[in-house]
Amino acid sequence: MTPVSSRLRGDRGTVGGIEALPFGVLVFVVGSLLTANAWAVVDVKLAVTSASREAVRRYVEASDHDRAVNEATVVARDAIRSHGRDPDRAHLRIDHAGGRPWGRCTRVTMTVSYPVPALSLPWIGGYGDAFEVRADHSEIVDPFRAGLPGASRC
């Protein structure tokens, strides 16, 4: 029987090209992470798109400004939560075209943003904030709707 020290000496028995395997594994891991991160962006985009749309709809149909802001915030948070995301991490921005106050004919654009982690891992969660995914929706407050004060000045 050949002693162990003799058998481990030399290159005999080594599989040619074995050094390529770590690179293959690396490509697989990096590719999987890239795809998972891209999917996380798509998933968050679905959530923020729904949130901005629901928020604007509620905002333009409210009876006054304060109620509009409150209701829009609530429905945006609900939409984010219903997509399995944390509503506390979402940010809602409300813009009125031309700086007009809430009222007839005012164009409202709502932007909902949500941070996507740099590295998403199943069961464990995400690490770091790579970038923000945003979606916006815009509508005007109905110029001739009943129940609103003031005249229509579109």
Partner 1 sequence: MLMPAAVLIVLVLAALTVDLSLVHLGRREVVAATEAAANDAVTAGLSEATFRAGGGYKLDPTRVDRAVRAALDARGLLDRLEDAPHVTITGTTVAIRLALRVDYVFARALPGFDHSAVVAAQGSATAVTR
Measured CA to CA in angstroms, residue 35 lies from 30, 61, 131 at distances of 9, 40, 16
Can residue 145 be called a binding residue for partner 1 (CB under 8 A)? yes
Type of residue found at 88: D
150 binds partner 1 (CB under 8 A): no
* Calpha distance 92→74 (Å, rounded): 11
d(CA 34, CA 36): 6
Whole-Å CA distances, 76 to 29, 61, 88: 35, 15, 11
Interacting stretch for partner 1, rule CB under 8 A, among 3-11, 30-38, 69-77, 118-126? 30-38
Interface with partner 1 by CB under 8 A: which range of 5-13, 28-36, 74-82, 123-131?
28-36
Task: Count Cα neighbours of 19 within 13 Å in the Cβ-side half-sphere.
Answer: 1
53 vs 85, beta carbon nearer partner 1: 53
Q: Which is nearer to partner 1, 44 or 90 (CB)?
A: 44
Positions that interact with partner 1 (CB under 8 A): 24, 27-28, 31-32, 35, 38-39, 42, 45-46, 49, 53, 56, 97, 105, 107, 109, 136-140, 142-145, 152, 154
